[in-house]
Amino acid sequence: MTEVISRKVQTGNYQTFIHEGGESASETIIFLHGSGPGVSAKSNWQHILPHFKGNFHVVAPDIFGFANTDHPETYPKNGAEWMNERIKQVLALMDELGVEKAHLVGNSLGGVIALHLLMYAPERFDRVVLMGAGGGLTEPTPELAKLANFHKDPNPIAFKNLLSWFLYDQSVLEDELEQIVAERLELFLKPEVRRSYEENFSKSHLSDMLVPPSALKQMNHSILLIHGHADRFVPLQSSLYVMDYLPNAQLHIFKRCGHWAQVEQKERFVKLTLNFFNGEL
């Protein structure tokens, strides 16, 4: 498979929309996106996957409750149930694709899901990259609170402000920011996407996503933490917290970087993660 293709795959009683590239016989990396309005695997990873598909089988799903994955008719009742559904989604996706064991890259919420996957099915995963990941965050920053409440009054100006806060320096995207705002807002305003977002954020709490120190201590996987020094959505303290307990982890902090390390520090992010997955780090 020379190109990254998009398709739907059966996961339990619904279909998951994925982007996939590389040879299926190669080691698999699953890329898990974050949780902002209009987010998707495409918006998070479209410029990253091509750098990995030459040496790895890459899979980036739209996480349950977001984008083009089938949306639920009956919603989970709380954040713990949402998390459980997403754990089951990733494991069902691996089973459907015939992937016995995979590496993980988790951004923000995707990083929290990755940690929960290590709690519930540690034998299914190998090396793990956590980028701007939660798991050690107990109270929302003002920026995260705005993200969680965006569904109450979605409009282009508020959305542009919100997305600009993800960056240390929004000039990195320059004219692209307007296009990103338009594309993501269009996706977010689809009725099923907006409903899932509201259900998710109105009935979840950050405490639902905390990973206990006792669990972190048992994760013997090789883990690479990447965090933007100026991240205002998931502060650096979250990675420092999990770093205290993970037995086999390393932390790389990028200066002049906010919540989107894969955008603001793309070349460094790609080089660092490729070296890590190749066992050179």
- The position carrying tokens 């990995």 is 52
User: Which tokens go with 170?
Assistant: 């929004």
User: Which tokens go with 242?
Assistant: 């999990």
Q: Please, are residues 104 and 52 in contact by the beta-carbon 8 Å criterion?
A: no
Secondary structure of residue 188 in the 3-state scheme: helix
Q: Which of 19, 116, 151, 259 is catalytic?
A: 259
Residues 236, 134: Cα–Cα separation, whole Å = 9
Secondary structure of residue 251 in the 3-state scheme: strand
Is there a catalytic annotation at residue 259?
yes
Angle at 116 between CA 234 and CA 53, to 5 degrees: 80
Number of alpha carbons in the 13 Å side-chain half-sphere of residue 87: 17
Q: Please, are residues 120 and 88 in contact by the beta-carbon 8 Å criterion?
A: no
Q: Please, are residues 36 and 147 in contact by the beta-carbon 8 Å criterion?
A: yes
Residues 278, 177: Cα–Cα separation, whole Å = 33
- What are the φ/ψ torsions at residue 20 (nearest 5 degrees)? -140, 140
Helix count and strand count (H, E) for the chain: 12, 8
- Residues catalogued as catalytic: 259
